[in-house]
Amino acid sequence: MTSLEIYDTTLRDGTQQEGISLTAGDKLAISRLLDELGVAYVEGGWPGSNPKDDEFFRRARTELDFGTATLVAFGSTRHAGAEAAKDAQLAALVAAETEVVCLVGKSWDYHVEHALRTELSEAIAMVGDSVEHLRSVDRRVFFDAEHFFDGYRTNPEFALATLKAAHDSGAERLVLCDTNGGTLPHDVDRVVREVAAAIPEAALGCHFHNDSGTAVANSLAAANAGITQIQGCVNGYGERTGNADLCSVIPNVSLKMGYGSIPEDRLSKLTRVSHHIAEIINLTLDDHLPYVGVSAFTHKAGLHTSALARRPDAYEHMPAASVGNSTRTVVSELAGRSTILAKAQDTGLALSSSEAQVVVDRIKELEHEGYHFEAADGSFELLVRDAQGWTQPFFELESYRVFVEHREGDVVAEATVKVHVDGERIVTTREGDGPVGAIDLALRAALADRYPQVARIHLTDYRVRDLDSSDGTAARVRVLCQHRDIEGSWGTIGVHQNIIDASWRAVCDGIVIGLIRANGAENGKGE
């Protein structure tokens, strides 16, 4: 099996994405995750460019103990007119004490003439001298040919000359970079093959940006044309529109193209590592990312779920478990009985075919009214239980009321809830920052003595959406609440013309679900 090296640049190129800022500690944590995933190289940053990267490389010497990966320091070739042995940038790379250094150098004549403002011959010398110097101090060197595809298009002789200078001076990898992200797969295939023919003894790599939406496709084209290293970022992070997404590249080359990339036993870690890194970076992961997104193997249409129940591969291009993900079904007005049966099974409930049809009909009716069950798995569970004749046994509502007042510069909400629990009438009043929080606190207080488990149930999110209505005087609102306990989270939904009543329905159902999970309520009719 042909092997491809996976070179991760999340900690350097990925951090150039707008909105990303990592501490040295963050970078150490991500490095360990990348090593756990099994990538070959982790590019830690640019030593000498900022104190944070200097701290990272200093701490990496004692705090990182890689099992698979090799840490790489990134930097540029010597300055024009400078001596490599005395160049401050190269000195910083040496001081980082990494086994491998990745040097970036100009391969586009336009940049040499207008950015460096030097001669093409000097630019070639800058590459050769820098590689030679790093090799003289026992560093392995990769050469990133910046803007290579643009440079090869306008002046192929010069672009190739920079590669040859790096190779002749001892660079192990010649990496063809599409820095502006404008190259398309058919050109990648052609150029890589021409470079391989021009320097047949060289080991080539690729580095693609996603400005044309083709970074992953370009990486696959380069792999097919004979490169041995693919650079990219987890989750496609990177400047402007991002770099090639390694969470797509890795399973594509490993499972679809038959190339070795990361160790086979690590591939199932991909989804977890992707999500963990997103948490550290503190950016919400796109649910619809291929392979690792929450929705990557999620099915909504009834036709799909019906087929999946018989043949798992009917609407999935590969087993979700291969990359550590899982198959999901979501409930909507598009659902048929097969979707409902599958979703009910996911919640641990068994429905008959006739009960499933009752749920289908009810969902279609409610979604027409404005309900939306995709993010309300708790409300769906209650629909299923209702179809089975279950009645929630925890409490019976008598009434509730909510007041909102402006008090000494603050807005305070006060909710009073009157419920019956085991035949006892309980009245509680609580204050909150808003009416929803006050309702939640008051209801949980009313139930606390009989059901102390409510102390572990917390309202974590609350969202409101105005719904269009054909009756201009009766516009509805949809309220989605998210609750969680120590075991997990669930969503519930309420729809009504009055926002407080819609909120009550969502909050009430959320606490009922929490009590079901805490008390192991049976599927049958409650006491």
Note the pLDDT tens digit of each residue in 21-49: 999 999 999 999 999 999 999 999 999 99
| 416 to 351, 447, 488, 496: CA distances (angstroms) | 37, 13, 28, 20
Q: Give residue 405's pLDDT band: very low, low, confident or very high (50, 70, 90).
A: confident
Question: Which of the four CATH numbers 1.10.10.2840, 3.30.160.270, 3.40.190.290, 2.102.10.10 does domain 396-519 have?
Answer: 3.30.160.270
What is the spatial distance between Cα 325 and Cα 346, in angstroms, rounded to a whole number?
15
Amino acid occupying residue 263: P
Q: Which of 81-85, 91-95, 265-269, 331-335 has the lowest mean pLDDT?
A: 331-335
What value does the mean pLDDT take over residues 401-428?
Answer: 89
Give the model's pLDDT for residue 428: 94
Q: Where is 491: in which H helix or E strand?
A: strand 489-496
Give the model's pLDDT for residue 117: 87
Give the model's pLDDT for residue 298: 75
Give the model's pLDDT for residue 300: 64
Higher pLDDT, 128 or 388: 128
Whether residue 301 has pLDDT greater than 60: no
Note the pLDDT tens digit of each residue in 97-106: 999 999 999 9
Whether residue 116 has pLDDT greater than 90: no
Give the model's pLDDT for residue 493: 86
What value does the mean pLDDT take over residues 415-439?
Answer: 91
Q: Which of 57-66, 209-218, 342-351, 364-373 has the lowest mean pLDDT?
A: 342-351
Give the model's pLDDT for residue 310: 55
Whether residue 525 has pLDDT greater than 60: no
Whether residue 445 has pLDDT greater than 90: yes
> Residue 364 CA to chain centroid, in angstroms?
32
What is the spatial distance between Cα 218 and Cα 231, in angstroms, rounded to a whole number?
11
Half-sphere exposure (Cβ direction) of 20: Cα atoms closer than 13 Å: 26
- Give the position of tokens 């004749």: 389
Give the model's pLDDT for residue 478: 85
What value does the mean pLDDT take over residues 368-373?
Answer: 70
Q: Which of 121-130, 217-226, 484-493 has the lowest mean pLDDT?
A: 484-493
Q: Give residue 115's pLDDT band: very low, low, confident or very high (50, 70, 90).
A: confident
| 139 to 54, 73, 123, 145, 353: CA distances (angstroms) | 18, 10, 21, 18, 68
Q: Which of 67-81, 252-266, 479-493 has the lowest mean pLDDT?
A: 479-493
Q: For the chain, what are the domain ranges? A: 5-281, 298-360, 396-519
Whether residue 523 has pLDDT greater than 50: no
Q: Give residue 270's pLDDT band: very low, low, confident or very high (50, 70, 90).
A: very high
What value does the mean pLDDT take over residues 50-62?
Answer: 95
What is the spatial distance between Cα 355 and Cα 428, in angstroms, rounded to a whole number?
37
**SS3 state of residue 101:** strand
Give the model's pLDDT for residue 164: 98
Whether residue 327 has pLDDT greater than 80: no
495-498-500-504 Cα dihedral, nearest 10 degrees:
-40
**DSSP collapsed to 3 states, 163-223:** HHHHHHCCCCEEEEEECCCCCCHHHHHHHHHHHHHHCCCCCEEEEEECCCCCHHHHHHHHH
Q: Give residue 309's pLDDT band: very low, low, confident or very high (50, 70, 90).
A: low
Q: What topology does CATH give the domain 5-281?
A: TIM Barrel (3.20.20)
Give the model's pLDDT for residue 390: 85
C-beta of residue 499 within 8 angstroms of C-beta of residue 476: no
C-beta of residue 174 within 8 angstroms of C-beta of residue 166: yes
Give the chain's mean pLDDT: 88
Give the model's pLDDT for residue 213: 97
Whether residue 69 has pLDDT greater than 60: yes
Note the pLDDT tens digit of each residue in 117-131: 889 999 999 999 999
